[in-house]
Chains A and B, each alone.
Chain A
Amino acid sequence: MTIRQLTVFVENKKGALVEITTALADNGIDMRAMSIADTKEFGILRLIVNDTDRAAEVLQNMGILVKVTDVLGVKISDRPGHLSQALRVLDDNGINVEYLYAFLLRTDKHAYTVLRVQDNDLACKCLEDAGYHIITDSDIAKLLK
């Protein structure tokens, strides 16, 4: 069970990021979560949006490099130490996390954490066995409704 993330290659030039966010806004794309990894030469923007396919199409038509990546979403209690507990489960099972980012909900007492691992199925199973709720695309769709 995974959620779909839109990954965008961001050139290291003035206005590159605003160009992307403006295009998404103009096409009515709603962002649920975002994270950016940056190096001296380029950035990688990761987005969870309401309509991944439409967002990908919009950016592709602008000549921007995009990729849809399956990532894992986990619901974590918004309390100190709870993220560590979830990560410990993965670590104990020898699963490496390549990157993660989280977003808080206004209504819920939970944080949603987006995880990128090599083996989604294995990580999903380990977390579910440990009692965690894995987020689906329909969970995402329900957000902000």
Chain B
Amino acid sequence: MSNYYQIDKETMPVEDIRKVQSEKLVKQVKHVYENVEYYRDLMDKKGVKPEDIKGIEDLHKLPFLTKLDLRDAYPYGMLGKPLKECVRIHSTSGTTGRRVVAFYTQRDLDVWYECCARALMAVGGTSEDVVQVAYGYGLFTGASGVQGGADKVGALTLPMSSGNTERQIQFMMDLGATILCCTPSYAAYISESLKEQGYKPEDNKLKAGIFGAEPWTQEMRRDIEKGLGIKAYDIYGLTEMMGPGVSFECSEQTGMHINEDHFIAEIIDPETGEVLPEGAKGELVFTCLDKEAFPLLRYRTRDICILSREKCSCGRTFVKMTKPMGRSDDMLIIRGVNVFPSQIETVLLKEGYTPNYQIVVDRVNNNDTIEVNVELTPEQFSDTVGGITDMEKSLANAIKVMLGINPKVNLVAPRSIVRSEGKAVRVIDKRKLLD
């Protein structure tokens, strides 16, 4: 049994990877320069012409892209193909100003699904498998990516979407799901629910799980593995690149192989932008080599990690990345949803509150919780308990509309939020996300 979807690509010698990357990069830079005015302007400003890029050794000459650029170029500014050639849109969970809207041609979808097929086969997936997709279907990339991968492998997909745990469990047991794909926190929740219903780990037919879209620890991995009686694998991706499958774990479970025939990964110093040598910890930067519709070059992910090209026992030659060890910006990932404190601030101001707030994130029973403490003003203070709890409910609802997740809102006394050097501490993240 082979655990590869495309063995010739996944195990090609490192020199060949570099050759493929160089050839694709030269073409891609030309494509972007000719079709994406926004990036052409950036290159012109930096004085770089497409002919200056002769291979991956010239990559560092290209300008970086950030989320800010995507905001400026929203919605069509990064398009590399006419809309009539695009077949799909996906978007991040972010909202106004922070939302990333990505476009795909049919070829972009094919490449994406191939990447996910590799991830599925790396964990032992075959056409015999029943893949339960419990990521939310819709704008979010998670479900589409893994289902596309399962289609390529020829596995049977159970497109459950997220939520309705009772039904998830019923389908899982009745239809013999063998691979579960969802966020790690939802996997932990399903595991707990199974236990509550009296099922033992050996009662289900699951053999593996592919879990991504949010940070999780080794401890959580062990809990899920024990609770479901499976091997749990990590998968990484971002909408800006395509979605899940940019990198994936193999049987070794020691980091995620980046699909280097489609993406070039660099590690940079987030302060200076300088490219760091292999093995250094820094910010991950990706260049898409094959994307047609949304072809980002040198996109700064803000994820901090380490790359390693040590020989892997699985036989893959693709470089491995560690799980993201942190962020170089203030983005939080809560229940798989990207949250920026500034989004919450926008809601507060719109609803007539002070921008004196604090976000407290925690993880209780493997589930993320978010509380937003907001200082009351004398004008807002009501003499009835109902008056205050109504305000809390209505504010929680407004934040939910913005973020897509339900926070608990606490209205607190003025100046009760601790300020360090006069500046309020915006985020307290009590979760232990890193080992």
A binds B: yes
B411 within 8 A of A: yes
- Asked whether B383 lies within 8 Å of A39 as measured between CB atoms, the reply is no
| Cβ distance A6 to chain B, nearest Cβ, rounded Å | 10
Given A39-B389, A42-B388, A66-B378, A5-B383 contact (CB < 8 Å): yes
- Asked whether B383 lies within 8 Å of A63 as measured between CB atoms, the reply is no
B54 within 8 A of A: no
- Asked whether A65 lies within 8 Å of B384 as measured between CB atoms, the reply is no
A64 within 8 A of B: yes
B422 within 8 A of A: no
How far apart sit A11 and B375, CA to CA, in the bound complex (Å)? Answer: 11
- Asked whether B376 lies within 8 Å of A65 as measured between CB atoms, the reply is yes
- Asked whether B381 lies within 8 Å of A39 as measured between CB atoms, the reply is no
Which chain A residues lie closer than 8 Å to B411 at the CB level?
42
Chain A 28-65, CB within 8 Å of chain B: the 1/0 string?
A: 00000000010101101010000000000000100111
The bracket for how many chain A residues form the interface is 20 to 34
Interface residues of A in 89-145 (CB under 8 A from B): 98-99, 116
What total of chain B residues lie within 8 Å of the partner, measured CB to CB? 17
- Asked whether B384 lies within 8 Å of A116 as measured between CB atoms, the reply is yes
- Asked whether A44 lies within 8 Å of B413 as measured between CB atoms, the reply is no
Interface of B is mostly: loop
A88 within 8 A of B: no
How far apart sit A125 and B413, CA to CA, in the bound complex (Å)? Answer: 36
How far apart sit A133 and B413, CA to CA, in the bound complex (Å)? Answer: 37
Chain B 398-422, CB within 8 Å of chain A: the 1/0 string?
A: 0000000000001111111000000
- Asked whether A9 lies within 8 Å of B415 as measured between CB atoms, the reply is no
Which chain B residues lie closer than 8 Å to A64 at the CB level?
413
- Asked whether B383 lies within 8 Å of A46 as measured between CB atoms, the reply is yes
Which residue of the partner chain A has the closest CB to B385?
A37
B386 within 8 A of A: yes
- Asked whether B413 lies within 8 Å of A39 as measured between CB atoms, the reply is no
A67 within 8 A of B: yes
How far apart sit A47 and B7, CA to CA, in the bound complex (Å)? Answer: 78
How far apart sit A5 and B416, CA to CA, in the bound complex (Å)? Answer: 24
- A-B interface contact total, Cβ < 8 Å: 47
Which chain A residues lie closer than 8 Å to B410 at the CB level?
41-42
Which of B376, B383, B389, B413 is in CB contact (< 8 Å) with A7? B383
| Cβ distance B225 to chain A, nearest Cβ, rounded Å | 37
A21 within 8 A of B: no
Chain A 65-103, CB within 8 Å of chain B: the 1/0 string?
A: 111010000000000000000000000000000110000
| Cβ distance A62 to chain B, nearest Cβ, rounded Å | 10
How far apart sit A24 and B86, CA to CA, in the bound complex (Å)? Answer: 70
Which chain B residues lie closer than 8 Å to A67 at the CB level?
378, 381-383
Which residue of the partner chain B has the closest CB to A41?
B410
- Asked whether B385 lies within 8 Å of A44 as measured between CB atoms, the reply is yes
Given A9-B376, A39-B389, A42-B388, A65-B414 contact (CB < 8 Å): yes
- Asked whether A7 lies within 8 Å of B381 as measured between CB atoms, the reply is yes
Residues of B whose CB lies within 8 Å of any CB of A are 376, 378, 381-386, 388-389, 410-416
Residues of A whose CB lies within 8 Å of any CB of B are 5, 7, 9, 11, 37, 39, 41-42, 44, 46, 60, 63-67, 69, 98-99, 116
Q: List 24 A-B contacts (CB under 8 A).
A: A7-B381, A9-B376, A9-B381, A11-B412, A11-B413, A37-B385, A39-B385, A41-B410, A41-B412, A42-B388, A42-B412, A44-B383, A44-B384, A44-B385, A44-B388, A46-B383, A63-B413, A63-B414, A65-B413, A67-B381, A67-B382, A98-B384, A99-B384, A116-B383
Beyond the given A44-B383, A65-B413, A98-B386, please list 7 additional residue pairs across the A-B interface where CB-CB is below 8 A.
Answer: A5-B383, A42-B388, A42-B412, A44-B384, A65-B376, A65-B414, A69-B383
